[in-house]
Structure 1
Amino acid sequence: MIFNRIKNSTLKIKNNTLDSGRNVKMDRMVYYLEIKKEIEELLKLQDRYFAMYQVYTDPIQRKITPEIRNTIIEQSLTCGQEEADKILSNLKKQEMPFDIYRLIQEYGILIREEDRDDSLNYIYFGAFEEPGTITLYIDNIRKGEELIREYKIKELLNINLKEVVLAHEIFHYIEARNKKLFVNQYRIKLWKLGPYTHTSLLSCTSEIAGMAFAKRLLGLNFSPNVLDVLLLYPHDRNEAKYIYKQIMDNEVNIN
């Protein structure tokens, strides 16, 4: 699953009118500049800042101590990068250019496209389902593409958002088939009772690795996690801005 966030205030957005006495055109320009500035700031951030955000939003993040946090981030990033490098290295040996759709065909992955799926108060942009199906929610992705054009975010104008989502989900396909990957091996202790210790996998390791995989595979010069905010703006501005602030707070805390 990729780029999903709880819709706290989608309906409020449509009615989030400005004070009647203000100039609507001016307010729209201010809002335009705010979004553009926020996305451009996120595009400059290193991967570890987004990874930190993923760690903080993990369901069992309270069990992740500062001592192991950096290990989780670095190993997860490396995991995704190495899996992408294997694919790219193999293509280089065969003197073949990278084609994400050919890769999908070789893996036997089925791509299913649906307009949208906002069930259970979540916004979905893509999802991987065993044994080998990737579902793309085209309407949600299209709105992100429209925002890029409207706000003239030059770093993203030539980026195929559908392929970024696909690349991330391809990692989850690989992850499901290789239990030796770091993301499938690293477990954190939850509790202990006598000689028995109960451990659990982390969801953040998979998401961090998936984004690192997509970035390396597609040769992007920014973290695909930017889309966590970008693709959310057309649906829930308040939630998108909240996530932006959380990511930037992590950037400040790290530095």
Structure 2
Amino acid sequence: MGKQEKWNRLLDAFSGKGTAPSCPEYPEVELSEMVRTLEGFSEKEWGRYAFSREPLEGKFSEAQKEEYTRKANECGRTLAEQIAKEYGTRDTKKLAEKMGMKVKMPKVPVGGGLVLFAQYVEPDEITIFTDCVDKASELVEECGCSLLKRENLMNVLLAHELFHAVEEKHAKEIYTRTEKVELWRKPFSNKSSISCLSEIAAMAFAAQLLHLTVSPYMLDVLLVYSYDKNAAWGLYDEIVSMNNYNLKIMSSLI
């Protein structure tokens, strides 16, 4: 099993799909250092990470990925403002109530096994698993990351899933669903959605709605850290290496 396949199975932080594989040992990094580094990543850099999890990743050039990332982020931010204006609030709990969402907060998934953080189930159910919130909030004193404070984290997780609820409601016209890539043309055209656009937009939606100054994508590392430090170090190493590699490519072209 390749490195990317392992991480694809382990880390889909907001959907909880897959099973955790065994991982090699990774260099230890202080949590506060990881936080500082992750806070500094731009939307473009998080887009590279998002596309590294995209099943169709090999179909696109770097320029195409950047354009898709830009449009998905714009979609999420625009929708956040529309929703806040439509319902007259940016409070995630009030939004969920006004949108008719049933919000459940069990400690862990029934049956256990997988580490789930939050999920949306059609047509009107959002679940936030509080075990991950409790564990992550204990890290605030160690790293000083305000995103991990219990209330803030609950709001981010809920906002993320609210995007998916709105996305489903407007599936016929929202960018994350209407944007397609043609897989082949003969003997007939086959077009597919680009799944990572939904996650990119959901992160941008949460950040815009809550006026965050950092990307919620950093929670992919931090929430995993609260369960498995080595797995988090591995993901952190991958994200940093990925962006340093891309920066070197760009520098060589200048």
TM-score (norm 2): 0.82
* Aligned residue identity for 2:189: T
Aligned pair in 2 of structure 1 residues 157, 55: CA closer, same or farther (>3 Å)? closer
Unpaired runs of at least 5, structure 1: 14-29
C-alpha deviations, 1:7-49, integer Å up to 9, x for none? 2349x99xxxxxxxxxxxxxxxx96x61221122101211221
Please list, as runs of the form range in 1=range in 2, the aligned pairs for 1:82-93 lying within 5 A after superposition.
82-90=78-86
1:8 and 2:27 are equivalent in the alignment: no
Q: 1:119, 1:41 → 2: CA distance?
A: 36
Please list, as runs of the form range in 1=range in 2, the aligned pairs for 1:1-255 lying within 5 A after superposition.
2=14, 4=16, 6-9=19-22, 34-90=30-86, 98-117=90-109, 122-149=114-141, 151-156=142-147, 158=149, 160-178=152-170, 179-194=172-187, 196-255=188-247
Q: Look up the SS of the partner of 2:30 in the other structure.
A: helix
* CA displacement at 1:198 relative to structure 2: 1.1
Query: Greater relative contact order (Cα 8 A, min sep 6): structure 1 or 2?
Result: 1
Larger radius of gyration: 1
Q: 1:189, 1:238 → 2: CA distance?
A: 38
Q: Look up the SS of the partner of 1:248 in the other structure.
A: helix
Aligned pair in 2 of structure 1 residues 237, 6: CA closer, same or farther (>3 Å)? farther
* CA displacement at 1:154 relative to structure 2: 4.3
**Residues matched between the structures, number:** 232
Q: 1:187, 1:109 → 2: CA distance?
A: 29
Aligned pair in 2 of structure 1 residues 157, 53: CA closer, same or farther (>3 Å)? closer
Contact 2:139 2:148 in 1 (8 A): no
Aligned pair in 2 of structure 1 residues 176, 213: CA closer, same or farther (>3 Å)? same
Aligned pair in 2 of structure 1 residues 40, 171: CA closer, same or farther (>3 Å)? same
Contact 1:7 1:121 in 2 (8 A): no
2:7 counterpart residue number: none
Aligned pair in 2 of structure 1 residues 3, 252: CA closer, same or farther (>3 Å)? farther
**Deviates further, 227-236 or 158-167:** 158-167
